Amino acid sequence: MNEEITEILEGLAVIESDISVPKNVRMKIKNAMVILSNEQEENKDLKFDRSLEELGSVAEDPNVPQHTRMQIWSVVSQLERGN
């Protein structure tokens, strides 16, 4: 796994472990992490696109705390740069 994906996974892990984040949001974060860590999928762009789909809906959820929303947008920004 390359350094870029590892850095993104670390950012997502911080959000996923935050107990103030609603459970449904943590599940979507976990799904994005699984997509990114899939070793069988070699196409990085495809991984990033699928993860962006998961995170896009999460960032708009009104139940997400503001600090978490900022963390999500930071990860989204990293994914868009790498894509």
Task: State phi, psi for 73 to the nearest 5 degrees.
Answer: -65, -30
Q: Which of 16, 10, 5, 19 is nearest to 50 (CA)?
A: 5
Longest dimension (CA), the chain: 35
pTM (global) more than 0.85: yes
The 10 Å Cβ neighbour count of residue 37 is: 15
Q: How far apart (Å, rounded) are the C-alpha atoms in residues 80 and 1? A: 18
Count CA within 13 A, CB hemisphere, residue 17.
6
Instruction: Return the domain boundaries, the chain.
Output: 3-82
Q: pLDDT per residue over 15-67, tens digit each?
A: 999 999 999 999 999 999 999 998 887 788 899 999 999 998 888 889 899 99
Identify the architecture of domain 3-82 in CATH. Answer: Up-down Bundle (1.20)
